[in-house]
Amino acid sequence: MTDQRMIKTQHKLYHALGTLLQQKSFESVTVSELVDAAGVTRKTFYNHYQDKIDLVQEYQAALTLDIQKIQSRHRHFDRDYFVEIFSYLDKQDILLTSLLSYNGSLELQGIIKETMYRYCSNALSAAVRQPDVLEYRSVVTANAIFGVVQHWLATGRKSTPEELAGIMTCLNFSLSDDE
């Protein structure tokens, strides 16, 4: 999808879906409403997507890949990690905020939580030697980070990525069994 027209259309559709999700649930958004809000034709939409789920899955795949790339550059929950994650999320359009809201996509939320869980498990594994403790500490840490992201987006991104990274590092994600 390197055609500039398609990229522009894609961004219009992402923005339109994000706007619609602020008013109603994903299930109740129709393709007709989506194309009208985006200012594109149904034919254009169906030339590239089977349905609105296909559009969201494409967005989810790109978002998940980008987050995994960021995570691959970091081994710890340090300030640099959080600055990079929150800076990336801060650059996203309204669609991310809407998909992570209560009207949004439980599927995307689950994918992001699972991605965070795997990262947390890997990051904590060197210091946490008990498998059951590692599993639950990873779940708690992943859900805490996801919850902060969700709250930050829902409340209008009041803190800068740098400020939020400072807050996250103060939360002291414990890295050993005996802490």
Where do the structural domains in the chain lie, given as residue ranges?
4-170
Q: Tell me the Ramachandran region of residue 93: left when phi exceeds 0, alpha when psi lies from -120 to 50, beta otherwise.
A: beta
Query: Which pLDDT value is given to residue 162?
Result: 97
Dist CA 44 CA 72 (whole Å): 36
According to the model, what pLDDT value does residue 117 have? Answer: 94
Query: What DSSP designation does 127 have?
Result: T
CATH architecture, domain defined by 4-170: Orthogonal Bundle (1.10)
- Per-run averaged pLDDT (10 residues), the chain, 179 residues: 82 95 90 97 95 92 90 86 94 90 81 89 88 93 91 92 92 53
